[in-house]
Structure 1
């Protein structure tokens, strides 16, 4: 395997971990205690390309810190199973600059975030909430003992897929016309039958679905750049689930 392919695979592994969780610790540089790091629990959503979107209030301490100094890191870890050594679980530290989402991306970034946190729509009229995203500089991924590497920005960020504007239609089609297929994929992913599964998001490398157990992420076998790629990926998942 070439160095370029190795880097791409490492980046994909790290992105999949990040997409599998919905929150982490956002560390900013404190203005209250000058120069010291300040950690905040932060829900986030990852864009198709790989930028972490956060929704923050102007009165929050971390927002004040970001406005004074945009350098941040977002640290997250996979959910440990009972009895698991926490030093052995996967974790990622995304280092970058937190900046306001550009005006021409706010609507799409906001909808992406609200797909995961629909209750947050109500925050729009309070405390001057706004969207920031983290422009990544480098990403540190610890996949487990002996599996530690840096991911560079150029390997982390994906191109916008051809179908990005069609995501809502893809979700509606799958949920309304192929609910049995969605249920089969959910049962295979969770290891048990579920009756309330709904797809809520698709990304180039996988999908999110919401069930009574919460939101879970599943992966495609390969990245999907076209609408037909997505269709074939779901067909493959359904066949595998029903095999």
Structure 2
């Protein structure tokens, strides 16, 4: 197999209020399946470990007060926090539970953060009921093992945000309000933990295959360069450069993939189709 062919690369449903990127090349199908914004939000929040918590300030009264907090998310996508009663944000919550927390797509690095995904979970943030504390404690400590040194201090307690609504922004041209029930039902993408390695491998070692994807499968015959910008269970997304300008396109897999090995096989199959074309 040529160097250009990948070898070692690692449901929609709920209607959302917002916009998403659309394929711009003649050869891409507008119906190409992509993760819903609820799925994208669940994928992002599952990986999040820190966020900016906004509470209603007591002084000056009525203004948002933002602070950095450590967190984890449970199987329903609810944010679980371990807060000290002495902290300003905790005192605000005890007076008024209305809150939101902004979570950024990991890893948080580079100078193009506005192109990365983010989710705002909006809802009441209240102390966790006694019967749920053991589960929340285990969840939080799994995400933040160092917190074991202070988790049992008398002034610390677990809090949980119950999302009433969510705002998802996936970068330029991809944003919406997400229904809380749809978010709770959505499954995080099974390829998320492998995606950075898949993208790095493909872009570093198989740039010619990605360019063939753009020219043959996305029907951008005059493409001069292409980069794989995303991969998920349903397909891949490309940033394609051509004389007419840069285009963003999505190409679907033949079938849903759930493992790194399935993704590798799907990318090889796409390369074979591109060569045949």
The normalised TM-score by structure 2 is 0.57
Cα distance in 1 between the residues matched to 2:186 and 2:128: 17
- Superposition map of 1:148-167 within 5 A: 148-158=175-185
Aligned to 1:82: 110
- Superposition map of 1:1-243 within 5 A: 4-7=13-16, 9-78=36-105, 79=107, 81-84=109-112, 86-158=113-185, 188=197, 221=233, 236-237=259-260
Shift of the alpha carbon at 1:189? 6.0
Shift of the alpha carbon at 1:121? 1.6
RMSD after superposition? 3.1
Cα distance in 2 between the residues matched to 1:147 and 1:29: 29
Asked if the contact 2:46/2:77 (under 8 Å) is kept, the reply is no
Note closer, same or farther for the CA distance 1:158–1:110 as it changes in structure 2 (3 Å cut). Answer: farther
The normalised TM-score by structure 1 is 0.64
What runs of 5+ residues in structure 1 fail to find an aligned partner? 161-184, 193-218, 223-232
Structure that is richer in helix per residue: 1
Tell which structure's C-alpha radius of gyration is larger.
2
Note closer, same or farther for the CA distance 1:71–1:191 as it changes in structure 2 (3 Å cut). Answer: same
Which SS does the other structure have where 2:170 is aligned?
strand
Shift of the alpha carbon at 1:113? 0.6
Query: What do the CA deviations read for 1:167-206 (whole angstroms, capped 9, x no partner)?
Result: xxxxxxxxxxxxxxxxxx69956969xxxxxxxxxxxxxx
What runs of 5+ residues in structure 2 fail to find an aligned partner? 1-10, 17-34, 188-193, 202-230, 235-256, 269-277
Cα distance in 1 between the residues matched to 2:197 and 2:171: 25
Cα distance in 2 between the residues matched to 1:100 and 1:189: 40
Note closer, same or farther for the CA distance 1:64–1:146 as it changes in structure 2 (3 Å cut). Answer: same
Cα distance in 2 between the residues matched to 1:148 and 1:137: 17
Note closer, same or farther for the CA distance 1:81–1:119 as it changes in structure 2 (3 Å cut). Answer: closer
Cα distance in 2 between the residues matched to 1:119 and 1:238: 34
Note closer, same or farther for the CA distance 1:5–1:72 as it changes in structure 2 (3 Å cut). Answer: closer
Note closer, same or farther for the CA distance 1:142–1:109 as it changes in structure 2 (3 Å cut). Answer: same
